[in-house]
A and B are shown apart, each in its own frame.
Chain A
Amino acid sequence: MLPNPSLDFLQQILTDPAWSHLAWVFRWGFLLGFGSLLLFFPRSKSPVSPQNPRRFLSRFWAFWLVLFLLLICFRQAQWQLMGRQNEDFIAFMQRYDRREFNPAHRVRAGKILDRRGEILAYSPLSDQVIRRHYRFGPVASHAIGYNHPVYGLTGIEAAARKDLLGQDLDLKDDWAVLGAELLNREGYAEGPHVFTTLDLNMQLRASELLGDRKGAVVVLDIQNGAVLCMVSHPDFDPNRLYGGLFSGKTSGAPLLNRAVAGQYPPGSVFKVLIAAAALQNGFKGSYDTPPEGYTNSPANPRIRDHEYYAAKEKGRSWRGHGRIDLGTALAESSNVFFAQLGVETGAENLLRACHAVGLHRSFSLWQGDEATLTVKAAHVPDLKDSQPYEIAQFSIGQGSLLMSPMQVAMISAAVANKGWVNRPSLNPKTLGVPLGRLCGPAAADQLKWMMYKVVQEGTGRRMRMAELPVAAKTGTAQTGGGQASHAWFTGFAPVSKPRWAFCVLVEQGGYGSASALPIARDLFRSGIKEGWLKL
């Protein structure tokens, strides 16, 4: 390779502040020089004069040439100079052109607001160029997305693009208003603002609580499926995007929205769905939970309770929970119990419950023109009654089952909502769309109080708060490969008249009750104390 030295002197001259003025002179100088060269060239006479008897190209061709060139000039002027009178064209540039210096962008995208009207994103004007600004930087960056001249659009910015610009390719009337403002140069027309279901206070607090840990926090409104809070860490600052983010070299994949696109083994939080399926199936009995655990053949490792391992670690022995019912099993999160329960309930009932919650399909949190904010379909193994060990693993949320925090929150919301599953949405205009039914009201009510028992006397005891009775379930999902477990915590509150369903995930956070639970507790506690969560 040949040496390629840098040109420092040229760099210095060209980046000098004076250059910006000089460049302006040069720009005009270039056009003027070009023009004067063209004026000057035809003057020099050809030394050879035509003496032949025939013209090979008659003047008639010149007529056609000039005519065609004029046609080109005219057609080009229609686009280049008078393009703003073509509504289709302006609409196209608004939606798909990324040149920020394009005058068509004088129509500013509207503001994005949270549910109370707090501004999350807006378009200030500086130096004649409109840039998108995100007031809270990385907070809610995955939900709002970004609108960047180089990196494009994602999130609500992409999904609600039409609404934010106040136009629709089919609705030209709106364009007539904006186009008139544009033509009259009355400042910079702005599209209408767009409300979201997000609660800024909750978003800020949840983001703060999650801190540097990787994970996600989701809070849903149980009545209608509104997403009140969706935090995914690590996050990114949409005001400061850089190429490295997109090259995949950044550690922690900050662009990944873990809340909807992350795929994790749910661990014990999945027992809520198993319990719902069993109750719906009419389960009323109990199981013995010996310390030897559950297995169907010596080839498969035994599924045991965590107390067994805790005791073993301390050099003691554990006698098992004994014969327990579903409520106690959920409170103690007994793997041995749920393994047997799942096998008895059967593959068909379990898969039906998964389908009822909509685990098998992906959907968008904001149904717009572009596929964005998509909740990924969970990876649900193909269960068969002939393979009971697979079902047993599935029933404790392990094996090849993978799902996102949003889907876990949906299960809790369904239990709280008499079994009905609402489709989560960030768009306040599309709330309360039913997805399916997890279980009947009786089963849901039973399960609700069982989850309350988890907080009162089970693994979620630390969630007990005088001001807010919570029903919940902890989870500690083994990840394999010798890494720390994922910590889960999901539930809803208040128990008697449920309003908020939540799910907290801390990647490699260890025990759910130790690292995920405090985030939910502090979130609700400060919400009630500061008054932005009203009972």
Chain B
Amino acid sequence: MTAKKTSSASDCASNPPSQRLGFGGVFLLLAVGMLLVLGARANAGEFLHLSDVLPYVFWAVSAGILVLGLRLASYGGSPVLPELMLLLSALGVLVRSRMEGSVEGVGNWSLFIQPLGFVWLWLAWNFSRKGRILCFRALWPLAFLISLAVVGGLILLGSRFRGAFYGPGGLTPSELLKLFVPLALAGFFAAADQKWLRRGFWNPPIPQSAQLLMAWGLLCGLLVLQRDLGLVVLLSFMLVVMLISVTRSWSWGVLLAGAMAGGGWLVWKTMDHGARRLQAWLDPFADPTGSGWQVLQGLSGLYAGGLTGTGLGAGAPERLPIAGSDFVYAVYGEELGYIGCVLLLILFALLLRRSAEVANIQSSPFAGLLATGLTAILAVQVLVNIAGVVTLLPITGITLPYISQGGSSIWVTSVQFGLLLGMAEPGEIQKKAKSKGKSKVPSRKKSAGSRK
């Protein structure tokens, strides 16, 4: 046991040169971006105050503490994962500070959103690292009940604003589903994963599928009542990815295609605001000053940015209505140009690749499925949000993780990242769990042996 520990520590010790450079690069990038944003603001005639610098300082300090914390607790996972997360977070801080204008006052609580997010990330990492994640394995019914309670409570108690439900203080508790639903599903599948194995869409395990269908119908029904279609799409896609992963049968993809076609038709026929969004997607010029306005303003921003962009701080996000959440990519693209957008897409691709790698190094089905679900959620959020802005898909109201405004979204993404970081370093507990599970699932051990 001690030998293992020292070996993992020495693993880390061999890494530092490259790792330090990577983190240093992120901090440097933030500093350059900060000077660009503040420079544009100062040259527009604004007077700079301490509170204008604080978002960056707070981010840098908290990110620095996080890096130090990872180092001191000898984080033993993939070093690229935290680097990519921090880079994404730095870009998010730059774009958000760009849109919000000057923060009013030094004590503004929005300054603390990202630093607090790092705290949640650190906590989630500690609760899940070295196999501790497996402690949550049996809690899936609780996770499911919490999900239902969140949605139900929101319908009963929340207030409606711009077509979505909000809890007290403008929080969007439905963001929590992006955490609890994958936890619940991973536990549910892992509890009977042998029953699912190699069962395609055409011959599903009847009792389990019935349970799943009922639970899913309940959850999605409540979400549709809330008119949160984006979340239904997001979670359903994640479900299919996990189904394919647990059954190893691609036939479940049929479900995806069918659900997409049926859901689209249903939205078109029954939902007013859904039909409007579809209309704005199919032909934004049909009603350029009405339903197409937001999309076209976003695209105008992209066009104005061109290949290289106007430079951070030099764009005009105030031209774009509600730019902060759905259309943050348009603001980003206006200021950093097509090149910056391609770089951001590469960043997301690398992040997804690494988080898929986290899933693939898991030996326990629970952790593997959880990482799979989190990866799927991350992927769908990125793809659907960006595709909405560039009119590849209709607008769904899904946020761009770590870039969009909104404390709830940033915090939930932080916890997801923390879980991924924790699962990136499987440890002793997991080993124990493995040996425990030996009697339960001997077939997997065998197949492992056979592969070698």
Q: A residues within 8 Å of B by Cβ?
A: 1-7, 10-11, 14-15, 19-20, 23, 26-31, 33-38, 40-44, 46-57, 60-62, 65-66, 68-69, 71-73, 75-77, 79-81, 83-84, 88-89, 92-93, 96-99, 101-104, 169
B29: Cβ under 8 A from any A Cβ: yes
Task: Name B233-261 residues within 8 Å CB distance of A.
Answer: 241, 245, 248, 250
**Chain A min CB distance to B401 (Å):** 15
How long is the Cα–Cα vector from A47 to B308 in the complex, in angstroms?
Answer: 37
How long is the Cα–Cα vector from A22 to B232 in the complex, in angstroms?
Answer: 47
> Contact: A6 with B48, CB < 8 Å?
yes
Contact A14 to B299, CB < 8 A, known contacts A34-B343, A99-B319:
no
B11: Cβ under 8 A from any A Cβ: yes
> Contact: A14 with B39, CB < 8 Å?
yes
A contact residues around B392 at 8 Å (CB): 71-72, 75
B115: Cβ under 8 A from any A Cβ: no
- Given A34-B343, A89-B303, 13 more pairs with CB closer than 8 A: A4-B49, A4-B105, A11-B42, A14-B35, A14-B39, A14-B43, A38-B350, A46-B79, A48-B426, A56-B356, A57-B359, A61-B356, A97-B297
> Contact: B307 with A96, CB < 8 Å?
no
A contact residues around B53 at 8 Å (CB): 7, 10
How long is the Cα–Cα vector from A27 to B309 in the complex, in angstroms?
Answer: 9
Q: Could you say which of B105, B304, B392, B451 has the most chain A C-beta atoms within 10 Å of its C-beta?
A: B304
How long is the Cα–Cα vector from A72 to B448 in the complex, in angstroms?
Answer: 39
Q: Could you say which of A57, A66, A72 has the most chain B C-beta atoms within 10 Å of its C-beta?
A: A57
B442: Cβ under 8 A from any A Cβ: no
How long is the Cα–Cα vector from A92 to B22 in the complex, in angstroms?
Answer: 43
How long is the Cα–Cα vector from A62 to B357 in the complex, in angstroms?
Answer: 11
In the complex, identify which listed stretch (B162-170, B332-340, B405-413) lies at the interface while the others stay far away. Answer: B332-340
Contact A99 to B36, CB < 8 A, known contacts A31-B308, A48-B426, A52-B363:
no
B51: Cβ under 8 A from any A Cβ: yes
Q: Mark B36-60, 1 if CB is under 8 A from A, else 0.
A: 1011101100011111110000000
Q: B residues within 8 Å of A by Cβ?
A: 8, 11-12, 15, 18-19, 21-22, 25-26, 28-29, 32-33, 35-36, 38-40, 42-43, 47-53, 76-80, 83-84, 87, 105-107, 241, 245, 248, 250, 285, 288-289, 293, 296-297, 299-312, 314-316, 319, 333, 336-343, 345-350, 352-354, 356-357, 359-363, 368-369, 371-372, 375, 379, 383, 386-387, 390-392, 424-426, 444, 447-448, 451
Q: Could you say which of B303, B305, B346 has the most chain A C-beta atoms within 10 Å of its C-beta?
A: B303
B contact residues around A40 at 8 Å (CB): 18, 21-22, 25
User: Which residue of B106, B354, B362 contacts A4 across the interface (Cβ within 8 Å)?
Assistant: B106
How long is the Cα–Cα vector from A377 to B198 in the complex, in angstroms?
Answer: 76
A contact residues around B424 at 8 Å (CB): 46, 48
> Contact: A44 with B425, CB < 8 Å?
no
How long is the Cα–Cα vector from A83 to B338 in the complex, in angstroms?
Answer: 13
**Chain A min CB distance to B430 (Å):** 11
B contact residues around A1 at 8 Å (CB): 105, 107
Query: How many A-B residue pairs lie within 8 Å, measured between CB atoms?
Result: 274
17 A-B pairs with C-beta separation under 8 A: A2-B105, A6-B50, A15-B42, A15-B43, A19-B43, A30-B32, A33-B32, A38-B346, A40-B18, A41-B87, A44-B22, A47-B8, A56-B368, A68-B383, A69-B349, A76-B390, A83-B299
> Contact: B345 with A7, CB < 8 Å?
no
A contact residues around B338 at 8 Å (CB): 76-77, 80-81
**Chain B min CB distance to A90 (Å):** 9
How long is the Cα–Cα vector from A61 to B383 in the complex, in angstroms?
Answer: 13
> Contact: B107 with A19, CB < 8 Å?
no
> Contact: A37 with B356, CB < 8 Å?
no
How long is the Cα–Cα vector from A35 to B84 in the complex, in angstroms?
Answer: 12
How long is the Cα–Cα vector from A27 to B306 in the complex, in angstroms?
Answer: 14
**Chain B min CB distance to A23 (Å):** 5
How long is the Cα–Cα vector from A50 to B78 in the complex, in angstroms?
Answer: 11
B contact residues around A44 at 8 Å (CB): 15, 18-19, 22, 78-80, 83
Contact A50 to B360, CB < 8 A, known contacts A26-B32, A44-B18, A83-B303:
yes
B contact residues around A19 at 8 Å (CB): 39, 43
B contact residues around A10 at 8 Å (CB): 38, 42, 48, 53
User: Which residue of B32, B36, B49, B105 contacts A5 across the interface (Cβ within 8 Å)?
Assistant: B49
How long is the Cα–Cα vector from A453 to B243 in the complex, in angstroms?
Answer: 96
B contact residues around A42 at 8 Å (CB): 80, 350
How long is the Cα–Cα vector from A84 to B33 in the complex, in angstroms?
Answer: 30
**Chain A min CB distance to B254 (Å):** 15
How long is the Cα–Cα vector from A60 to B252 in the complex, in angstroms?
Answer: 14
How long is the Cα–Cα vector from A19 to B372 in the complex, in angstroms?
Answer: 47
How long is the Cα–Cα vector from A302 to B299 in the complex, in angstroms?
Answer: 67
> Contact: A101 with B80, CB < 8 Å?
no
> Contact: A31 with B336, CB < 8 Å?
yes
> Contact: B49 with A26, CB < 8 Å?
no
> Contact: A97 with B83, CB < 8 Å?
no
